[in-house]
Amino acid sequence: MNFKEILARVTGVSVPIFGIQWQPVTAEVTVARDVLRTLEDKRVLYNPYEMEGAHHCIRSVDDMRNTLTGALQKVNPQTHVGKQFARIRKACREFCNIVGSPEFDRAAIPIQKSLLSRELTKLRKTAGSAVAAIVIAYGLDVEDDLASIIPFNNAP
């Protein structure tokens, strides 16, 4: 446990004459770590496209969006981690707007596959860059599957 986590868990200070109690906010690094653990288990972020079905993806992305909304209630949305959570949540909402629309279900199967592939690519690109920003900012580790969507700069 590091200093920020310890500080976030302190609920009061007492001196011989008086004491002060307060409810601290959860340390950002703890919230970031918890969100990353959840994202590590979201196959929609890294499984090959052909292994994903649209309706399963929608449920998974909706669950991610709910997790991110809960996390945003624990941190200041203007902080670095808050902004990254908001970016991923917006990408989740945009994914669900396209893949979850009635027009998607009425489209021909090849069009559905193309749309799903395109929207998964957009979601993964946004989530990957946000995950990278969080990992770098807080010095956190992520599992290899989630790390596979991080856009590494491999230019010579």
Q: At a CB cut-off of 8 Å and minimum separation 6, what does 107 contact?
A: 115
The Cα 27–Cα 6 span in angstroms is 9
Who has greater pLDDT, 13 or 46? 46
Q: What is the pLDDT of residue 94?
A: 97
pLDDT tens readout for residues 68-87:
999 999 999 999 999 999 99
For the segment 105-112, the average pLDDT, to the nearest whole number, is 94
Q: What is the pTM of this model?
A: 0.80
For the segment 7-30, the average pLDDT, to the nearest whole number, is 57
Domains recognised in the chain with CATH numbers: 27-147 (1.20.120)
State how far the alpha carbon of 104 is from the alpha carbons of 36, 55, 99, 108, 144, in Å. 30, 11, 6, 9, 32
Q: Residue holding tokens 């991080």?
A: 150
